[in-house]
Amino acid sequence: MKPSNATCDVVWLGNGQWFGELVCACLCLLLLSLLGGANANAQDEDQPEPEVLITVSISPEARVKASPGSASRVLRQGEWTEFTVTIENTAGITSPLVIESEQQMRDESSGSLREPSLVRGAVHDHERSRWMRLDWDAEKPLTGAPKETRRLRIWSRDHGVRSAVLNFNAGQGTQDLGFRSDVLLSFRVLAR
Amino acid sequence: MRTEPRWVKTLGYDWVRIKTPSFVIWVRLVVGLWLLVGVSTSRANLQDPVAADDAVAALPSVGRVDAQPLLLLTKRLSEALETIGSPLNASATAEMATLAEEPDDAKVTATIQRLLDPLCVAAVEISPDGSMQVIAGQNVTVEENGWRAMLVKVLNHANVQTQLQTRSPNALPIPTGPQDEIENRWMSLNLHNERPLDTQLSGLELEYRILLISSVRVGTHLGKLAFSPSGENGTWANTNITVETVPATKVEFRVTDADGSDCMGCFEIRDALGRVYPAQPKRLAPDFFFQTQIYRETGEAIMLPRGTYTVICSHGPESVPETKTIQVGEQPIVIDYQVERWIDTAKLGYWSGDHHIHAAGCLHYENPTQGVHPPDMLRHIMGEDVKVGCCLTWGPCFDYQKQFFTGRPDDVSRYPYLLRYDVEVSGFGSHESGHLNLLKLREQIPAGGDSKNHWPTLGLNTLKFAKRQGAVTGTAHSGNGLGQVVGRVAGVDGPHKLPCFDIPAFNGIGAHEFIMQVTHEVDGPDGEKVPAIDFIATMDTTREHEWNIWYHVLNCGIPIVASGETDFPCITGERVGLGRVYVSLPGILDYNDWVEALRRGESYVSDGSAHLPNFQRNEDGTFSVDVATRKAEFPDIDVELIANGYPLEVQKVKANGTMQTLTFAAPKLEQSSWLAVRVFPSAHTNPIWVKLNDKPVRVATSIEWCLSSLEQCWREKARTYAPAEMGDARAAYDHAREVYQGMLNETK
């Protein structure tokens, strides 16, 4: 097949016009992907940012403090709800930011975030207290930038009012004192 | 004219109707009528405890709510009460702990109400339609000018998630009020919404909040108490409460050290219900609100209401805490406390110090003053028997606190307690590559500015500024950022993972650039070359992490010494001097002499529970050290002689506080070594160096560790250096590579 120089007049290395066609095709693909990406970005920009559920402040002494944000604390049973976590990193540290919660359900299979079947009826002990799942990249290091944002997704097994304590740390012993590294949040979980 | 119903936003997506003004009139009428009855009942309560139960019984209750949120909210409430020094009694706490196993949510709901309703001054009931009523609960007894924590029961049938607010005409400010209102304004109210509580209501049908009540007028008074779930301009409902204000009595202190000299004592005062005095939520310096204890000396006093109190008295970790029971009646009393010591290191020629405490930032407040002042910090170091307190100005409140730097011990110092202001590079300058403690500065701030925004970003350049003026320099909270592992070099890990050959991430603010700095010499005050950094801070971060990097650097033959710190009140607000250095200094304690001896390593570090003075190598090649430790129940503890980080010999001693001399056999060393004694994790001596065949200490595996760590540090910290200093930074790391590589070559 003879390459068309009308659309793309590229002669690459002068040895076989097929190569120029290939490059041309690649460039076209690249252009299309860029345009597609731009469209996707435009679409992303149309999407409202998830509300800020928590603001994490890391002091110059690398003490991690968490404060509730202004997000509506509403979840829907059996579904993931996405929130924003803003991080103000005045220490410039680059360790991962970890969230721990005693209300997080234990994974049936290690590391899996798959959604478990809803538990109905009376449950107690740890089952009752562990009602949610968190989707958070606990291994991703902080960038060291003064401000960055992350996404946190929360999934609820139950409906009604549910409360959770989310504790943040950026490594062993970095939790700020006086309960400042954790936030108590109560959610209204709408029935499925 | 008919007014439109007003609505209150409860959730982002949901709205709940509160009520119409006409409904307000009806509610007020009903509540007014109820109050007429309620007030007379409240008065009866003062005389009749049975009637008090009736008042509690009158609080509305809820049949069942979901136990998960109720248990968690109640747990946090209990923690909040503990935090402000008003804990629940032990039996209630124990019974609540069992509820986690109770499968019946209705029983959980009933039990919580049975336990907490008697502590409530009022119940606030918000109906599904948003209308509300307030019902009086238990009478309040409060000491004159003191504060009492009471609970407020919230029955939130509307599931609103707004912030509950309170007010009272009796709690209005006196300065702006009319003359004839002054008598009525005897009360202060404060809904305590601080951590660990959430500021807003949970939306659960049942929860409890904390209300702090104070009174300035002795006697029994009726006061009005109003609540609103919807803000100042929202709906309010109120009730009358009865407050009995009892007069407080003066309690004076008489405090003497073991030798009879005056000293500052540490006192934790609790009543029979475990409530802390003076009230923590209302403390200003010199009493710190985040502590349960206060510090007082002879002649000083506090006011306490009549009753029985338990007072725990102490004077730092060298004292044996003493518990006293005191009865406070109508007449002033004296608490007479003479310190009993299990050791007095100053008499052994070892002067304790904490080289890293702060008067601002972290747990300190920024209002009404930007941090606290030198007399406040002196009181705390005296009370904890820290002979030298290095109070370091840092990022928060820098421009306020910098006024206290004088280049010498502060004038408030009272021998032998010395308080001196210096600087921690934290929150500015080179902080991102590891904080630096700069002691014995002559000039607080580098040329080119008068604050914190023009400091170098390369730690080594900060050290050059400090060393040119003869400062003593070291790291801070060294183990921070050394916990995560990113790799490993070959080597045999020792007990306690000391040494350990994992390569840390160097992603925090601890001893990071330190791995480069220890290879450098910089200009001293007279132009002679001196080590850029003198000490590694220890005793306030994970011991394995901070001691491990120290061991590896020592194993390169670099004679860095250890010092002890607390980083108060950032790593802990419990008290100053939890991490210490004990510096050997004969005769009179002088700050400059003390810090120079610290620089030379004539010291040991400790948490105060174990002491290792007089570590020495004897003429016959044996090593000896004096050991005294005191721990609860006097367990046997291991005292280890280590060489190049590995144990050579272990001896057991009883931790009963008695001093004994241990002698370790002359070690058969195969290479030049540093030797030290440690009591893990409580104490460590600085090293004694032993040269064989006139060769320096060179442990190849540790040099490899330092080389790899240097590269990891560069990977993490290169981005933190300003472009103008990047050339300096590259050169500084290249120099370190050459030094370590040269050391490694010597081992081949």
> B127: closest CA among B67, B65, B62?
B62
> B328: closest CA among B239, B251, B417, B233?
B251
Instruction: Report whether B545 contacts B497 (CB < 8 A).
Output: no
Distance CA A150, CA A86 (A): 6
Q: What is the mean pLDDT of residues B269-291?
A: 91
Q: B265-279, B313-327, B431-445: which range is least confident on average?
A: B265-279
Please identify which residue in the block is written with the tokens 């021998």.
Answer: B415
Residue B49 has pLDDT above 90, yes or no: no
B497 touches chain A (CB under 8 A): no
Those residues with Cβ within 8 angstroms of residue B264's Cβ, 6 or more apart along the chain or in another chain: B255, B295, B296, B297, B315, B379, B382, B383
Calculate the CA B510 to chain-centre distance: 19
Write out residues 52-111 of B within 8 Å (CB-CB) of A: 65-69, 71-73, 76, 79, 83, 100-105
Amino acid at position A60, single letter: P
Please identify which residue in the block is written with the tokens 């006061």.
Answer: B223
Instruction: Report whether B218 contacts B299 (CB < 8 A).
Output: no
Cβ–Cβ below 8 Å for A163 and B197: no
Amino acid at position B255, single letter: V
Q: What angle do CA B731, B737, B738 make, to 5 degrees?
A: 90
- In degrees and rounded to multiples of 5, residue B400 shows phi and psi of -90, -50
Contacts of B14 in chain A (CB under 8 A): 74, 188
Strand partners, B602: none
pLDDT value of position B19: 35
B104: closest chain A residue by CA: A122
pLDDT tens digits, B543-557: 999 999 999 999 999
Distance CA B377, CA A16 (A): 82
Q: Which long-range contacts (CB under 8 A, 24 or more apart) does B34-41 make?
A: B34/B135, B35/B239, B35/B240, B38/B135, B38/B136, B38/B239, B38/B240, B39/B222, B39/B240, B39/B242, B41/B136
What confidence category does residue B172 fall into, taking pLDDT thresholds of 50, 70 and 90?
very high
- Of A86 and B31, which is predicted with more confidence? A86
Residue B606 has pLDDT above 90, yes or no: yes
Distance CA B31, CA B239 (A): 8
A189: closest chain B residue by CA: B203
> B139: closest CA among B197, B222, B257?
B222
Instruction: Report whether B444 contacts B405 (CB < 8 A).
Output: yes
Dihedral in degrees, nearest 10, Cα atoms A141, A145, A149, A150: 0
- In degrees and rounded to multiples of 5, residue B55 shows phi and psi of -60, -40
Instruction: Report whether A105 contacts A132 (CB < 8 A).
Output: yes
Amino acid at position A77, single letter: Q
Cβ–Cβ below 8 Å for A177 and B573: yes
Q: Parallel, antiparallel, or unpaired: how do β-strands B388-393 and B418-425 relate?
A: parallel
**Chain B contact probe: residue of A54, A159, A161 with most B CBs at under 10 A:** A161
Distance CA B193, CA B187 (A): 19
**Chain B contact probe: residue of A53, A119, A126, A186 with most B CBs at under 10 A:** A186
pLDDT value of position B22: 43
Helix (H, G, I), strand (E, B) or coil at B558: coil
Residue B391 has pLDDT above 90, yes or no: yes
Residue B51 has pLDDT above 70, yes or no: no
> A183: closest CA among A126, A104, A101?
A101
Alpha helices of B468-555 — where are they, by DSSP H?
514-517, 543-554
The two counts, helices (H) then strands (E), for chain B are 13, 41
Bond preceding residue B504 cis, omega within 30 of 0: no
Residue B337 has pLDDT above 70, yes or no: yes
Instruction: Report whether B220 contacts B42 (CB < 8 A).
Output: no
- Chain A nearest C-alpha distance from B12 (Å): 5
Instruction: Report whether A43 contacts A76 (CB < 8 A).
Output: no
pLDDT tens digits, B426-444: 999 999 999 999 999 999 9
- Chain B nearest C-alpha distance from A189 (Å): 11
B72: closest chain A residue by CA: A163
- What are the C-alpha distances in Å from B746 to residues A80, B489, B517, B616, B696? 60, 19, 21, 29, 10
Contacts of A183 in chain B (CB under 8 A): 198
Using the Cα atoms of residue B95, residue B97, residue B103 and residue B109 in order, give the sign of their dihedral: positive
Over the range B49-78, which residues count as b (16 or more CB within 10 Å of their CB) and which as e? eebbeebbebbeebeebbbbbbbbbbbbbb
Residue B402 has pLDDT above 90, yes or no: yes
Distance CA B143, CA B303 (A): 9
- In degrees and rounded to multiples of 5, residue B533 shows phi and psi of -135, 140
pLDDT value of position B174: 83
DSSP class per residue in B601-632: T-EEEE-SSEE----EE-TTS-EEEEEEEB-T
**In this structure, what token pair is assigned to residue B709?**
């760590």
Residue B232 has pLDDT above 60, yes or no: yes
Contacts of B570 in chain A (CB under 8 A): 59, 61, 63, 177
- Chain A nearest C-alpha distance from B465 (Å): 21
Residue B23 has pLDDT above 60, yes or no: no
Provide, rounded to the nearest whole percent, the portion of chain B with pLDDT above 70: 92
DSSP class per residue in B329-372: -SS-EEEEEE--BS--GGGGTEEEEEEEE-SSSTTS--SSSSS-
Write out the H or E segment, with its range, that includes residue B648. Answer: strand B646-654
Mean pLDDT, chain B, integer: 92
- What are the C-alpha distances in Å from B117 to residues B42, B61, B151, B164, B445? 16, 9, 8, 18, 57
pLDDT tens digits, B721-741: 999 999 999 999 999 999 999
pLDDT value of position A109: 43
**Chain A contact probe: residue of B75, B99, B480, B571 with most A CBs at under 10 A:** B480
**In this structure, what token pair is assigned to residue B139?**
């009478």
Q: Has this prediction a pTM greater than 0.80?
A: yes
> B487: closest CA among B737, B730, B704?
B704
Those residues with Cβ within 8 angstroms of residue A186's Cβ, 6 or more apart along the chain or in another chain: A73, A161, A162, A163, A164, B69, B73, B161, B198, B202, B203, B204
pLDDT tens digits, B117-171: 999 999 999 999 889 999 999 999 998 878 899 999 999 999 999 999 999 999 9
pLDDT value of position B603: 98
Those residues with Cβ within 8 angstroms of residue B453's Cβ, 6 or more apart along the chain or in another chain: B428
Over the range B534-558, which residues count as b (16 or more CB within 10 Å of their CB) and which as e? bbbbbbbbbbbbbbbbbbbbbbbbb
- In degrees and rounded to multiples of 5, residue A99 shows phi and psi of -110, 130
Calculate the CA B615 to chain-centre distance: 32
**In this structure, what token pair is assigned to residue A64?**
């991690």
pLDDT value of position A30: 53
Distance CA A56, CA A68 (A): 9
Those residues with Cβ within 8 angstroms of residue B158's Cβ, 6 or more apart along the chain or in another chain: B10, B16, B126, B127, B128, B129, B130, B229
User: Mind listing the pLDDT tens digit of every residue in chain A (192 residues)?
Assistant: 333 333 333 333 333 444 444 444 545 455 545 444 444 444 445 677 899 999 999 999 999 999 999 999 999 999 999 999 999 999 999 999 999 999 999 765 433 344 444 433 333 335 899 999 999 999 999 999 999 999 999 999 999 999 999 999 998 778 888 899 999 999 999 999
Amino acid at position B134, single letter: V
Distance CA B73, CA B69 (A): 6
What confidence category does residue B611 fall into, taking pLDDT thresholds of 50, 70 and 90?
very high
Distance CA B130, CA B123 (A): 15
Distance CA B322, CA B298 (A): 17
Name which of B479, B508, B541 is nearest A95 (Cβ-Cβ): B508
Amino acid at position B176, single letter: T
